[in-house]
Structure 1
């Protein structure tokens, strides 16, 4: 709380016209003390301290809250927080009050005039929300959220939380927000809980038809080893994209790599540094020419194969010839698909002849269309209404022909 009170005093005195150096001198602040307080970890993830950025959203009428933790504050993360909050609230408000965060506001003018970020405005237009910015150092203009930041810190983050992953932490935070809303009375309508008022507020919210496709796109060059560098980590892409330019779309929890209109990689986003994330399936075309990489190549270390392929791998062994045979089966996945290859492997094992030749012989047979079934035709047919033959009708036609000839004469 000492840090919170100090920050509040700094904001108040700075708004009153004092400079930062003068405020620091009056409060006797040292750089070491401030740095230590700011770098204190908020949570413990997988046994390691981690400072998280927490997105806070609140509906003014019902007081329903939503909080979500992220490793950092970027624009795609702001987009993700909006989509998840609106999904939990069950609708979209007509107006949003925002702090002057860099992910939303490009330029701050005097008064209420702002230049909002172009991408942020696209998101606001998608949800049909009117964005309104607060005045600098005027926390009272968004008092509910300003108070919520301190309340949530004491309610959810004390004592420090410990989780195996950020996803697990966010699942717990969302459940706690819903539990708190179901248990606490509304500050004005005291005979109803926050959850009950939210239920009554939902008809006034706009329907959320589809979440905004919130990503940040950059262009990267793929190396000869099918890797791209993004956000201090390296990710593999399909071998066909080697030494080409690709577009990386970064979302809050994943990255999508595109080469033109084709997706050449999609992976979970990692926020650490100096990691290389391989997808062994990206390197199948490389294995065809270098089957020895199956045992020694970095992308294939600790590769968890599907059950049928793992069984075949154990059956063939680990010699150079076994590697070549196994790679021949793997190469068939590019044309027949993983499910078809696994089914062919299982069929080969069932017949007691699990080898690459047998499996590659089964696959084309499975591609052939099934033979046409002979149609069963009933010969002894009986008509419900048998036809009646009246040959005398042809005599009437002859009479009409004679009358027509006489008339012409």
Structure 2
């Protein structure tokens, strides 16, 4: 294919200078048919390669096509990108370039995909600290050896493009509150507006146009942090297109291949670290800076956080006769004196608090399985006073993780007559004194070789007895000049005077 300058020279020499085709061909080392062909060419030549050669990909094309055919039936979130397919081929022995894989995947998807209608959008511009976009996504993660679908909360500052993500087992309102607390702490402040879908945790009713009835508890959080909530038009994801695009990117960057962690805490710590690392990427519009540099500028425009919002969801429940309340298919213990009464149960993302009479009467770490029993043995101590036999088979006490010395003393006492009552009396004293003095008392009793309730109680009382105050040293002005003598005859005088025979 001749370049445009050679074609122009051929035309000038023949049409202007009058040179023959043979002379031009000899001079430019071209064939006469080629010269004759380009005498009438006025447009630039267009070269289109019909097929891009990919010699190293050739033997792997069948494997790649098999993968694509299999994954086209999977949900879009579980399909591998061209980059992940390239990495898979490298494991299989492929040593070619990524571009060859990318072109093949693009051509294959173009042949399989249906033509889609093109939509037009208006580019958006945001001021520093003006807006932040929020969305949820569902990702596959292995937690403590169990593969499960987790809900990932996505935040994205619209000006700097700084992102923050956090994973949760559920997509409930208390998780939304906790995600906001984490995000604002990560950002170091609060933007003026937050843009949402019409999710139930935020919006209760969709009215005409942009009018919404927001959830009252959610508005309590918005009022606490002083940001304005904005709900998108239904089915109009482009109104928060940045975070919509982030969902796909984060899935490729962080959750492909599948992430594996021991707990949600470890996963969220890793996600926060990765958000900081990914901020070193170039800003999509201001290419002269990275996202971290733009975020440093935007942070100064965020509203400072005065206090963290207490993000719990409250419900009123009646305590059962077994001193339990049922929360989200799990049961949590309550002090025995509240059995049969109504209490307030406040659930956050990480804990369950039971409140009554204006005070927190019980706190438990929240569980997310099913049919789990979460008991605090101290809650059942008043019941043991009346029913000490429950010590042997009561669920709170069978699984009680006590120090080894206390367990040994309990096993020995339960083999003795009325030993269960003796051990309950030890627990009643330890409720105020703590388990550490009881542990020391049990160790002392085991060293003696004789274990009885009275012996352990005696050691325990001795350990918790208040120390004798030190002897006071009085100043000279308060000391007696003449100390009284101990004279028993004085009492005899009193006895002789007042005693009537």
User: TM-score, normalization: structure 1?
Assistant: 0.76
Deviations 1:25-67 (A, max 9, x none): xxxxxxxxxxxxxxx9722223333122111111122221111
Residue pair 2:413, 2:453 contacting (<8 A) in 1 also: no
1:300 Cα deviation after fit: 1.7
Higher relative contact order (CA 8 A, sep 6+): 1
Cα distance in 2 for residues equivalent to 1:190 and 1:176 = 21
Matched, 1:267 2:364: yes
Deviations 1:271-306 (A, max 9, x none): 222222222221112222222322211222232114
Deviations 1:296-328 (A, max 9, x none): 112222321145534643665644544332221
Paired residue for 2:220?
122
Matched, 1:374 2:491: no
Paired residue for 2:190?
92
Cα distance in 2 for residues equivalent to 1:116 and 1:122 = 10
Paired residue for 2:386?
289
1:341 Cα deviation after fit: 4.2
Among 377, 386, 390, the alignment partner of 1:280 is 377
Cα distance in 2 for residues equivalent to 1:328 and 1:73 = 46
> What does residue range 7-406 of structure 1 map to in structure 2 within 5 Å?
42-181=140-279, 183-306=280-403, 309-310=406-407, 312-313=409-410, 316=413, 318-319=415-416, 321-342=418-439, 355-361=452-458, 366-368=464-466, 370-375=468-473, 377=475
Residue pair 1:241, 1:264 contacting (<8 A) in 2 also: no
* Secondary structure at 1:204 match in 2: coil
Structure showing greater Rg: 2
1:262 Cα deviation after fit: 3.0
Cα distance in 2 for residues equivalent to 1:323 and 1:192 = 72
Deviations 1:87-110 (A, max 9, x none): 111111121111111110111123
Cα distance in 2 for residues equivalent to 1:99 and 1:83 = 19
* Secondary structure at 2:166 match in 1: strand
Structure 2 CA distance for partners of 1:371 and 1:348, relative to 1, 3 Å: farther
Residue pair 1:41, 1:49 contacting (<8 A) in 2 also: no
* Secondary structure at 1:55 match in 2: strand
User: TM-score, normalization: structure 2?
Assistant: 0.63
1:234 Cα deviation after fit: 1.4
Structure 2 CA distance for partners of 1:64 and 1:373, relative to 1, 3 Å: farther
Residue pair 2:419, 2:453 contacting (<8 A) in 1 also: no
Unaligned runs of 5+ in 1: 16-39, 380-409
Residue pair 2:139, 2:255 contacting (<8 A) in 1 also: no
Structure 2 CA distance for partners of 1:83 and 1:291, relative to 1, 3 Å: same
For structure 1, which segment, 238-247 or 154-163, has the greater mean C-alpha deviation from structure 2 after superposition? 154-163
Cα distance in 2 for residues equivalent to 1:347 and 1:168 = 41
Superposed CA RMSD: 3.1
* Secondary structure at 1:207 match in 2: coil
* Secondary structure at 2:402 match in 1: coil
1:253 Cα deviation after fit: 1.4
Cα distance in 1 for residues equivalent to 2:426 and 2:139 = 49
Equivalent pairs, count = 350
1:132 Cα deviation after fit: 1.2
Structure 2 CA distance for partners of 1:184 and 1:356, relative to 1, 3 Å: farther
Cα distance in 1 for residues equivalent to 2:405 and 2:293 = 52
1:362 Cα deviation after fit: 5.3
